[in-house]
Amino acid sequence: MKRRGNNKLSINKFVFVIPFFLFLLICIQMANLSLSTKVDGINLREFSNNRNTRQETLYANRGTIFTSAGEILAQNVDSYTVIAYLSEKRSEGLDEPRHVVDKEGTAKALAPLINMTEEDILKLLNKKNLYQVELRPGGRGITELKKEEIEKLQLPGIDFIQTFKRYYPNNDFLAYTLGYVRMTEDSKIIGEMGIEKYFNDYLSGKDGYLKYQKDLKGYKIPNTKEIREEQEDGMDIYLTIDENIQLFTERIVKEAYETYQPEWMLAVVAEAKTGRILGTTSAPSFDPNIKNIKSYLNPLVSYTYEPGSTMKTFTYMAALEKGTYKGDETFESGRIEIGDDIISDWNNTGWGTITYDQGYTLSSNVAITNILNKFINRTDLRAYFEKLGFGRKTNFTLPNEESGKLNFKYEVEVANAGFGQGITTTPIQHVQALTSIANNGTLLKPYIVDKIVNPKTGEVVFKGQKEEIAKVASKETISKIKDLMYQVIYGEPVYATGASYKVDGCEIIGKTGTAQFVNPNTGKYETGSTNYLRSFAGLFPKDDPEVIVYVVVKRALYGGGSSVSTPTVKLVNDIIKYLNINNATTSDINTSKKHFTIPNLINNKIDVLDHIEHEKIIIGDGEKIINQYPKANVLINDNDKLFLITNGKNIVLPNMINWSGRDVNTYCNLVNLKCNIEGYGFVKEQSAKEGTNISELDEINIRLQRTSEKVEIGT
């Protein structure tokens, strides 16, 4: 009995001790919580702070893309996203509601303004357990004007988040080269095509952030600490594009596309001595502001095609370089058998017995076939084409460049390759190959980025420049090939297959091309008057080429060869006038060794110009400068004019005598005056007198003359 009592006492003690120790453990844990900031590796203080901390992204401004003269091609502009506050908590304690109360009425009011249906807006407004919602897609990226329209409605709970969107002020101008961007879910702008994609890392910059303490309604608590890391804006990119040459190219290609209705066409203009791309466009095009895109490939670098007879130039160069070519030797034109195959000249009958020099100007396929049998072989041809850059990428700074193909093995394939059939090339490869003709046999790499600049510091982080790839031909070869290309246009009528490419005031050299298409179902070349790819590869002036022009047109429904020759001649004539090119003198391209860096003159008074010795053209009678051309920090030659637009509305015509065609075009564009230019060189006559008010003019006629006949002002 005594043992049983001791056991009962022990149990009672045990029952008492257990709760005591549990209570003690709880006290120790509470003391630990009060003294320590971590439990199980979690920083409780940081966790508590984070629950009351808000972080906002400070978006980096995407870099601006400019022409070589500083005209804006692509830039960020302010835009807004419409948001709706759904939580009633936002209105607690307030006299006026700050959340959406009337969802149906709000949806009805917003629908026509943000291009969304009432039903789609209501779906967003009826979402459960959300504090706020963005009204996408229509409410994203709206303009300041649209924002003001919505604000006038005074809809409770409707607000805006300021963001950016990419804006292309010239719409479809240079569209495939510039490309376009897309906005990600977290409001980042990403390049999707063209320069925007290729240089996305340069353009994007680095976002910053702002952290601060917030109250229960999400507002910043006054006088509390904030952490701020500033954003780093993206780099600005200046292209080699000359705005006026690009305007000529755009206008002429659009006209030709509408007139001749091809599947597509392209024109590219390059500075022959450097490889700088001065202008390039293709049709159909698109507006990157609305992305009405039919093809996501840039024809300049991504379209491959059988080029046709423009390749004959390089086959002849290969034979000349081999040292075996004999231009005076004759052959029988018309047709030639190669095994079981027959190769015919383009007219099927030929021209009887002709020389190989005449074979080039007549664009004889039989001449090429004989050259590949007598003067060079398959290995020579492939090696020379590759030396010029065909069959491989040029590494031009645009995405999705194709390399083309040099697939030829059998004898008939070799002959076809010699006149541009059975192989594929890209337009930029042709431009690159043509630079060798302009530079005494030295091949240059084409480029389109002039410089990349840090907008904050002005530091040039990348500079585009002339790049020599290889010596591909001797001066003797180039001299001979230029003579042959000259005869294509200016030779005797019976031999001049390119006579329709003659231009005013300057001798152009070049070669035409006509290629057929292979039917994918039959494996044979298609027939019919429209199933051709026509092209022209030219340089001017003849003796010392400064400009390269390459135009290609695929399957034009109308016009035949005129679908290429007419727009090409118009383009070349415009460039000749603009750059003052003729056979006796050099053009405005790089003629001056003295340069002047333009300061930022905007918002300054006119009297600030007293210390600037450069020639200035003042537009308007105001006292304050509101715009300038070229833009600030652009390097110009000492013979270029500086155009300054003032805040005065009274604009009178200046004396344009001895102005260049380029300066006339620039002035007329700035004052929105239609200008008709005749001739080439410098201004000799203007149809309206100096001092005439621009508002009284619908257009002005300008006559240019040769440099050697420059007019003395006042005579």
Catalytic residue numbers read 309
C-alpha torsion 331→328→495→561, nearest 10? 70
> Can you read off the two tokens belonging to residue 620?
């308007």
Contacts of 430 (CB under 8 A, 6+ apart): 307, 310, 535, 537, 550
Omega into 545 within 30° of 0, i.e. cis?
no
Q: How long a stretch of residues is the chain? A: 715
- Cite the DSSP H helix spans in 158-227: 175-178, 194-198, 200-204
Contacts of 208 (CB under 8 A, 6+ apart): 57, 58, 60, 228, 229, 230, 231, 232
> Can you read off the two tokens belonging to residue 539?
């340089």
Strand duo 674-678 + 158-167: pairing: unpaired
Is the CA virtual torsion 106, 112, 113, 115 positive or negative?
Answer: positive
* End-to-end Cα, the chain, rounded Å: 146
Query: Tell me, what DSSP letter sits at residue 405?
Result: B
CA 588, CA 546: separation in Å to the nearest integer? 10
Distances, alpha carbon 350 to alpha carbons 295, 326, 343, 354, 652, in Å: 40, 20, 11, 9, 61
Contacts of 659 (CB under 8 A, 6+ apart): 641, 667, 682, 683
> Can you read off the two tokens belonging to residue 128?
């459960």
Is the CB of residue 287 less than 8 Å from the CB of residue 168? Answer: yes
Q: Can you state the angle between helices 378-388 and 312-322, rounded to 10 degrees?
A: 110
Burial 487-511 (b: 16+ CB within 10 A, else e): bbbbbeeebbbbebbebebbebbbb
- Cite the DSSP H helix spans in 100-227: 103-114, 118-125, 144-152, 175-178, 194-198, 200-204
> Can you read off the two tokens belonging to residue 463?
């500079």
CA 381, CA 385: separation in Å to the nearest integer? 6
CA 228, CA 225: separation in Å to the nearest integer? 10
Contacts of 614 (CB under 8 A, 6+ apart): 596, 636, 638, 642
Distances, alpha carbon 156 to alpha carbons 107, 238, 296, 324, in Å: 12, 45, 43, 86
Burial 199-212 (b: 16+ CB within 10 A, else e): bbebbbbebeeebb
Phi, psi of 190 (to 5 degrees): -120, 130
DSSP element (H, E) containing 227? strand 226-229
Number of H helices, E strands in the chain: 19, 33
> Can you read off the two tokens belonging to residue 405?
């193909």
